[in-house]
Amino acid sequence: MTPLNLAAKIWEEEGAYVSRCTELEVASCGKTPEEALSNLKEAVELYLENAEDPGLLPSAKNG
């Protein structure tokens, strides 16, 4: 898969940190901003792996 540059927003909400990938509408959370970002990266990776199979994302083959 081609590397992607995606934006992330992180904010504090009720004692936890919420992280969201704005382009994919994928979100996660953590006890610290670093944990929230790490969890978001994992969630985005899983999203992209699952989106590639049913053709929700353009493949490198299709240009």
6-59: pLDDT as tens digits: 999 999 999 999 999 999 999 999 999 999 999 999 999 999 888 876 666 655
Domain assignment present for residue 63? The answer is no
- What pLDDT score does 57 carry? 63
Domain assignment present for residue 15? The answer is yes
Domain assignment present for residue 3? The answer is no
Domain assignment present for residue 31? The answer is yes
Q: What range does the domain containing 32 cover?
A: 8-54
Domain assignment present for residue 60? The answer is no
27 torsion bin: left (phi>0), alpha (psi -120 to 50), beta (else): beta
Q: How many domains does the chain have?
A: 1
Domain assignment present for residue 59? The answer is no
Q: How confident is the model at residue 62 (pLDDT cuts 50, 70, 90)?
A: very low
Q: How many CB atoms lie within 10 A of CB 9?
A: 11
Domain assignment present for residue 46? The answer is yes
